Amino acid sequence: MSQIDRNRAARAEIRARIEETAARLFAERGYAGTTIGDIAAESGLSKPMLYRYFDSKQELHLSLLERHRDELAAAPMSRLLHGAGDLDTRMRAMYEAWFGYVQSSPYTWRLLFRDTTGDPEVQEFHRELQRRQRETDMALLREFAPGIPEEELEPLGEAIRSSLYGLALWWLDRPDQPREVLVAAMTRLTRGLLATVGEG
């Protein structure tokens, strides 16, 4: 490995350490209760060193949210649309991936679902995140329940989204609950919704 590659790897490791520490502190103390000095100290860095990676606390917070938003969006929907098995099996796989990500990133999930900043830019980010999730759920309904009237798709997509978010927050406060219980609950809820197509 060249010196340039070693330097790049070292910078990536430090950046990841900063982000991991910041996610934990933001979740534990809230945005206002966490300072750049706190994050630097718990990362084993000086404040000037941390500022080489992030210009501000807001930039660090938004970077965390953006990274985990993109990771969240990547896997679950592809398991539903392109996975093996019947619809029920694919729904379970999608929700397993979704809740698996929640379980592996508990600090970040508190940031994604509980805005403690009061910052307008972060609030806009949360609205955008919710919009993307709602549109994903609307795509699910269009694909597997084409009989649903178009005017009902957005409220129904919001119903699925808010159920997912609500269950994730509920689970973060009850980590002893098995993941498979949440997967089964969301699969049952979505299956019931799809089964009502044409009844209205």
What are the backbone angles phi and psi of residue 188, rounded to the nearest 5°? -65, -45
Domain ranges of the chain: 1-54, 61-195
Contacts made by residues 130-138, CB under 8 angstroms, sequence distance 24+: 130/161, 130/165, 132/69, 132/73, 133/161, 133/164, 133/165, 134/158, 134/161, 136/73, 136/77, 137/161
Q: What is this structure's pTM?
A: 0.72
Give the architecture (CATH level 2) of 1-54: Orthogonal Bundle (1.10)
pLDDT attached to residue 183: 95
Q: What does the CA dihedral 150, 156, 158, 164 come to, rounded to 10 degrees?
A: -140
Task: Say which CATH superfamily domain 61-195 falls into.
Answer: Tetracycline Repressor, domain 2 (1.10.357.10)
Per-residue pLDDT of the chain (200 residues; tens, 9 = 90+): 787 878 788 899 999 999 989 988 988 888 888 999 999 999 999 999 999 999 999 899 888 888 777 776 665 666 666 666 787 888 888 889 888 888 887 777 777 776 666 778 878 888 888 888 888 888 888 888 888 888 999 999 999 989 988 998 899 889 899 999 999 999 999 888 887 765 55
pLDDT attached to residue 87: 79
